[in-house]
Structure 1
Amino acid sequence: MTFLLYCSLSLLFLSLESSVSLSSPIHDLLRSKGLPAGLVPKDVKSYTLSDEGQLEVILDGPCLTKFENRLFYDSVLRANLSYGSLNGVVGLSQEELFLWLPVKDIIVDDPRSGVILFDIVVAHKQLSLSLFEDPPDCKPTGASKNGVRKERGFEALR
């Protein structure tokens, strides 16, 4: 009887442990490809990865987060995933000097360097890899139909 109780409790703890995972499969996938998990927000609805490396991540909706600068995620993020890089990124923009610039590539050449490279069309921006260790919370944009934030009016256009 004690053995049966022990086995039942062990199975219960194992199932609880696997359901309380700190990261989702998409975050685990990024880590396995040499990229930090924090490149994608916490709340991911789903994702697909084709045999050719086309990654598509579906979020609950457009949202904003901040690392060193603010990042805007569309509700769908697409990129070609290979070891250490996301190339041809679509659906991610970074704020630079009050302008929103599309992020085209994200590259980690050497994880030991502690640097991640963002290609934002007009420049290559090097950021600390440690900023992206953990998936960020991403706040809904609160945009109205014309793209102006309801809460802030014209200030939200910058």
Structure 2
Amino acid sequence: MSINVSEVIWTIVCFFALLFVLKKFLFDPLIRFMEQRQAAIDQGLERGRDAQRKKDENDAALREKWRERSVEAKQLLAEGKTADDRERAWVLESTQKETNKALQEANQRIEQERRQVCADAQEQLPQLVSILAQQLLSGDTGGEER
């Protein structure tokens, strides 16, 4: 077996020609495709990180607003309770005043009627004594007839 130099040279030339064709039409486009794909993946990951960062910022802002609204709600409830307590105290006080006034007026009317009854009794006392004396003297006690 002999080595044919021309065959070796042609084999080397064909090998390099094949290598050149594969590089130009297969490897370079494949590498470009892979780099583009990697760039798209990296860009998607970066957008995902940005979205996560924005979500975290929004969550923090939302929690802060929620806390502020909660504080405002508690303040409003406290103010409402205070106003309700003041209103209740005012109603109780006015009711107590009205009740005391009504009791005072009732006591005055009772006292006035008592005085009137006493005055009427004083006026009618001589007549009643006279009638009673006449009945006692006449013997009529207003009892049963026999």
Please state which band the TM-score falls in when normalised by the shorter chain.
under 0.3
Larger Rg belongs to: 2
| Larger relative strand fraction | 1
Larger helix proportion, structure 1 or 2?
A: 2
The one of the two structures with greater contact order (alpha-carbon pairs below 8 A, sep at least 6) is 1
TM-score scaled by length of structure 2: 0.24
User: Normalized against structure 1, the TM-score is what?
Assistant: 0.22
